[in-house]
Chains A and B, each alone.
Chain A
């Protein structure tokens, strides 16, 4: 190996070796509970102040890219579920949309299929945000919201398990359709859930959002200015909390989102500075409310205009073999955590892609941490990391 290829590593080694007598190197992770997975942070600290954060990734690297280019598109869908395992539906929706657009069948899908997709995606979005909110509470030291969030999330898990047969990793959305139609009475049970869940969200607001201790720990901490957020490729709640109204559900208007009525919550800096940890938290809470709105509308349509028919086959358009010409395509969709993109490069005469790259929102959102972590207290670093809401399955892929 040429020396210059090794230069970056050598620089890093030198940096750690040259730590001064007033500094200390602290390892946080990969088993630290507040890193939400196997993330290892190497901190160079001066007393309680963090001078530099060096993230080390890859402890959960499972070779998604290599895996996806060794089999056909349909077989990759279960793996996309495992990228961001807290929002599997959204992952497979994005992947499937890309393949459908390359096939040119995205306009032919029955409306019922599209509405079911949006319904399960939004349910999954709520589940993902509930984890983000709950574990964020626990990072800060609030234990009760964590239990409440998991209790309510379990209802969603049960419903999605009913639909797909699996609790977290669904493989429910297929290229050209769905695994199955929704189970009979799913809509009613979902309506009951929405009715049950709305007041719970208000309770959550009472105990966490407006909690003085929580605000003290999160307001004015980890302020991320909009220009930095954009330059680092942050997306999703991260970017919106910095005041930028950027939601691909509206921008791209994919699936049936243009027909649905919902707001895009953005950070306003209510408790401190625009783009601080509290804003990021608040954007997620607001998004849960918006998702409930979307679910309500989807259910109404699914029970009236696009009601269940005995001869409806959600697999009618599922291709036996995905035959694509050699082409490249970048598809992006709004995941709970931000822009999930898939870059495809296909080849002629085979249904195995040449290259698939997953652009995970967590990966890019996390890359801003060394910037945010400069000069903060160690305890605040935990608050900042929690507010980014990463899933290591997607950071490492």
Chain B
């Protein structure tokens, strides 16, 4: 199935936008950011693929490069297939005012709502078009994004010492 899927997607969204990612034993496609929304809609609604279940979204930090990746793990309950999508994000610097931006897919799969909030909270990735983007696991006034490899603990939080050993 995967060969046909790739061919179909490449003819529809442009060959340069869809690439096979070879760093995994599972079927994984690297997707260009510009086609993400359209492609997700297509994968979910097309009768041939019907990826109706978004299992997981993971944000990965490639420190020291100024590069992040988002990985979407999809599954189809109808066809019992799995597919992973990768989106590579690069930023000029790691300033807290310069977060990488990705269109939110929470309108396509509601699962993405909380997963994107988590990625925003811990990895500092900004999802445009998300209806409720705020921190989810950490307090709303937390500073920084702890899952980034270059994160450094603050000395204290509201007077409570939190610096690690």
Contact = CB atoms under 8 A, between A and B. Distances in A.
Interface of A: 1-2, 4-5, 7-9, 11-12, 57-58, 61, 63, 65-66, 101-102, 230-233, 244, 246, 251, 326-330, 332, 339, 341, 343, 345, 354-355, 357, 359, 363-364, 367-368, 371, 396-397
B127 to A, nearest CB: 10
4 nearest A-B pairs in the assembled complex, by CB-CB distance = A233-B111, A8-B133, A8-B134, A359-B56
B9 interface: no
B55 A363 contact: no
25 contacts: A1-B96, A1-B97, A5-B99, A7-B133, A8-B132, A9-B135, A11-B132, A11-B134, A57-B137, A58-B135, A58-B137, A58-B138, A65-B147, A102-B25, A230-B53, A231-B110, A231-B111, A233-B53, A244-B77, A326-B23, A329-B24, A330-B82, A345-B58, A357-B56, A397-B137
B80 A233 contact: no
B52 interface: yes
B61 A355 contact: yes
A5 B125 CA distance: 10
A331 to B, nearest CB: 9
B26 A329 contact: yes
B89 interface: no
Interface of B: 23-26, 28, 52-56, 58, 60-62, 71, 73, 77, 80, 82, 84, 96-97, 99, 109-111, 113-114, 122, 126, 130, 132-140, 146-147
Most chain A Cβ neighbours within 10 Å, of B55, B56, B61, B71: B56
A66 B122 CA distance: 10
B139 A246 contact: no
Contacts of B52: 230-231
A65 B55 contact: no
Contacts of A2: 97, 99
A117 B110 CA distance: 34
B84 A330 contact: yes
A328 B110 contact: no
Contacts of B53: 230, 233
A31 to B, nearest CB: 18
A251 B52 CA distance: 16
Contact of B147 (A8, A66, A332): A66
B141 to A, nearest CB: 9
Nearest to A246: B77
A367 B73 contact: no
A361 to B, nearest CB: 10
Contacts of A102: 25
Given A1-B96, A65-B122, A341-B56, A101 B138 contact: no
A339 B97 contact: no
B55 A339 contact: yes
A330 B73 contact: yes
Contact of B25 (A9, A327, A341): A327
A230 B73 CA distance: 14
A121 B109 CA distance: 31
A21 B61 CA distance: 46
A343 to B, nearest CB: 5
Given A66-B146, A230-B52, A341-B73, A354 B138 contact: no
A326 B25 CA distance: 11
A273 B155 CA distance: 54
Nearest to B44: A231
A357 B26 CA distance: 17
A355 B60 contact: yes
A144 B139 CA distance: 39
Given A2-B97, A367-B113, A343 B77 contact: no
B126 A343 contact: no
A345 B137 contact: no
Contacts of B139: 58
Given A5-B126, A66-B147, A355-B58, A58 B136 contact: yes
Contacts of B113: 367
B25 A357 contact: no
Contact of A251 (B71, B80, B126): B80
B147 A328 contact: no
Given A5-B99, A233-B109, A345 B60 contact: yes
Contacts of A61: 137-138
Contacts of A354: 60, 62
